Structure 1
């Protein structure tokens, strides 16, 4: 039982870090959507600089007004990214300069490669399988930890039947309870 408690106490910070990363990305998106929705559109639709008949990008002074607006939104979002993302992280991203490609690179970094996603899923599944109430933990603390675990499973696409979630929660309660 001590090994189990040690494993849970060591893996919980990992899960909390994953939750924090997801929460930060979500808060950033919500903030930008609320403050400058037009700039957020640059994340959803890639801006491509118009080109002339020879395939050369037009100068800003020759870009049509509608495209200038899209260009400005892209640059506003680029500015927000540059202010919000640590330079060490920004340098590691592979993108083509558009906000759309930066956002895609960030999402790919957050999701990780296939091996990383598989490891995350295995870790979460294992934590669910061995989930138990930790000695000295209160019911609200255990319940909160359980809810975070279930939410993380759903985010990662790990689905279980309702009875499995209920059984696991019931099994974590102390045996001396009647």
Structure 2
């Protein structure tokens, strides 16, 4: 029984380590997108990873580049690319390699793109947002959630702010733009009266240390 318990414990620790590496990436492997549900958090980690690795490579998702094809419809090899085009060609290939490492094959196969890294990045964004009807419905739901946002019984100030920031980030990710003062005002309205003293103290401390 003790041996079995030790094995389970060791196995569990190994799985946790693998999951952490998949989520955060390693020095030679980008963060892994295993489920579309994880896209919002993966998006930021992957962008940071690639930019830290080589910002020039990251520009492949910011401006579309289509690798030239020969008369048979096959992509050109590096030896066939004009000298003034080789940097873009290499940038595209490096970024494509990172995508292939980072995105689970089953997800990659369902993306609608034209083969360029720019179109792959946009396809991921569109897949996360859903079709227009789904996106419209989700946007309406988030707006309603903002309208009725309030503190939950037993919730700490930190938990409330964390929950509110998640809601605001979701809205901004879907393109719902509101002035910052509206977001701040709504959070202020959600706070219970008994927290006013706490907020005033925090504001005083902020001013004192500014």
TM-score by length of 2: 0.62
Identify which of 20, 35, 43 aligns with 2:61.
Answer: 43
Establish whether residue 125 from structure 1 lines up as the match of residue 163 from structure 2. no
Q: 1:29-63: CA deviations, max 9, x gaps?
A: 121122122222222222233467x7966843332
The within-5 A match list for 1:2-151 is: 21-50=39-68, 59-60=76-77, 61-151=79-169
Counterpart residue number, 1:9: none
Is the CA contact 2:149–2:190 (under 8 Å) kept in the aligned structure 1?
no
Gap change, CA 1:51 and 1:166, over 3 Å in 2 = closer
Higher relative contact order (CA 8 A, sep 6+): 1
Please provide the CA RMSD for this pair. 3.3
Counterpart residue number, 1:11: none
Is the CA contact 1:94–1:105 (under 8 Å) kept in the aligned structure 2?
yes
Counterpart residue number, 2:170: 152
TM-score by length of 1: 0.72
Q: Distance in 1 between matches of 2:68 and 2:144?
A: 51
CA positional deviation for 1:172: 4.1
Establish whether residue 173 from structure 1 lines up as the match of residue 192 from structure 2. yes
- Deviating above 6 A after TM superposition, structure 1's stretches of 4 or more consecutive aligned residues are 54-58, 175-178
Q: What SS does structure 2 have at the residue aligned with 1:95?
A: coil
